[in-house]
Structure formats: C-alpha cells, structure tokens
Amino acid sequence: MEVVAKGSMKLRPECCPEDPPIEVHEVHVIPELSANLLSVNQIVQRGHTVTFTTDGVTVKNPEGHIIATGSRTNGLFKLDQIPSTKALACAPVVTADLWHRRMGHINFNSLQRLRGGLVSGLEFSDVAKKDENCRICALGKLSRLPFSNVGSRATELLELVHSDICGPMETDSLGGSRYYLTFIDDKSRRISVYFLAEKSAESVFKAFEDFRRSAERQTGKKLKVER
C-alpha cells in the first residue's frame, strides 16, 4: 500500500467535548485503507496509558487524566469521537526524484545512504530510481569533440569579446530571470554574466551597453569587436 500524503489531524473524543481537540501527528494517508487506524505503540511511546477491557478502551495522558475512550465492537476497539468537519492538514510526501534535483542531482545510491541515517528529515515516498532516468544527469555525462584551432588570439584587452545567451531556464532566478548573457574577453578570458528576464533585443542591448561602459572604464581600452 502506498502512502500518498503525511501530516497531522485533530480528534474530538466524545468523553471530553469541552477539552481542546487532540492533535495527532505523523498521520499517513493510504487510500486503500477503508478505516482509520491508531498505533497503540506510538501512543504509549509518548507517555500515555492505554487500558483495554471487555467493554472498551481508555486512554490517559501522562498526568493520569482520561483523554479518550472507545467501545468494543466485533472484536475491534473503536475510538468514540465527535465527527470533525475540518479536513486533514497534510503535505505531499516528497519523491526521490525531487530530492535528487534539490541536492544538485546527487546520485541515487548516495541519496539512499543519506536517508539511511546520515541526515534527519530526508524522506521520500518512492523507491529511488537510477540516475539514467534523469534527463539533466544524462546531458551532464555527454562529451563533445574538441574545438578546432581558431588561430591567433587577441593581443589586447577588449580587442575581441565573445558573447552568447542561454535560456530559458526551467526555474526562474530569485530576481525573476530566465536567461543569462555572457561576455568573454578573448585576451584575459574574463567572463561577465548578465541575467535577463526576457530574450528581447532591448534587454540584450541594455546588458551589452552596461558591459561595454564598465569594461572600458576598468581597462582604459575601447571595445573593438564583439561576436
């Protein structure tokens, strides 16, 4: 059976209608189950006392006060509670693939080891998949042929500047940008990066002008060729 969500919920036992509702944590949502189940082990681990009799069940808090009761029906114990109109407050269980991407495309074997006790709070609902199922990982493992010899290089700063634009990215930056524009000086190999919200002639030209003014002011040279 698959856990599709995990969160917390509130119960109102019939025995104590004036008391604040009991908040139950670590609630797992399993659509295949036809009834709600409570773990007696989890209850007693939190300091409560559970007493079973032929008539029913009683739950007491660590101070000895009764906080819930239940009746015995057909050999099963059912908690007596007031029906609640509030929905379960739950959060989707994070998948292994999402943790893989959150952690910089870490390999899934390492992800499994982390979940095994190296860190706390790392949980995912599905079995970790193989790295080759990730498109970004597959692209990162690709190799390319070396570039051909381009001949002579620039001998002065700003004699030749290479430029390229990349995007759109799958995720916007904190500033809302989806593209970035690079300028690489052929002589010094210094790289300048400008982030763009859109790929338009106006935004590209503005970034180019900002780069040109800044580079010429810092180097005392004039930009000759940009390609």
In what helix (H) or strand (E) does residue 181 lie, and over which residues does it extend? strand 179-185
Indicate the pTM of the whole model: 0.39
Burial class (CB in 10 A: 0-12, 13-18, 19+), 106: middle
- Answer whether residue 118 shows pLDDT above 80: no
Task: Give every strand in the sheet of 56-60, ordered side by side.
Answer: 49-52, 56-60, 66-73, 76-79
Give the model confidence (pLDDT) of 206-216 as tens digits: 999 999 999 99
Per-residue pLDDT at 203: 92
User: For residues 50 and 145, what is the distance between their CA atoms, to the nearest angstrom?
Assistant: 70
Tell me where in the chain the CATH 3.30.420.10 domain(s) lie: 160-226
What pLDDT, on a 0 to 100 scale, did the predictor assign at position 83? 65
Q: What is the mean pLDDT of residues 74-84?
A: 77
For residue 78, pLDDT over 80 is answered with yes
* Residue 76 confidence (pLDDT) above 70: yes
Which range is most confident: 39-53, 68-82, 104-118? 39-53
Query: What's the pLDDT at 26?
Result: 84
Examine the pLDDT at 81 and tell me if it is beyond 70. Answer: yes
The average pLDDT across 39-62 equals: 88
Q: Output 36 or 161, whichever has higher pLDDT.
A: 161
Distance CA 82, CA 112 (A): 42
> Regarding predicted confidence, which is higher, 82 or 3?
3
Q: What is the CB-side half-sphere exposure of residue 86 using CA atoms within 13 A?
A: 11
- Name the CATH architecture for the domain at 160-226: 2-Layer Sandwich (3.30)
pLDDT at 202 over 60: yes
- Supply the pLDDT for residue 12: 79
Note the pLDDT tens digit of each residue in 162-189: 999 998 988 888 788 999 999 999 999 9
CA pair distance 214, 217, nearest whole angstrom:
5
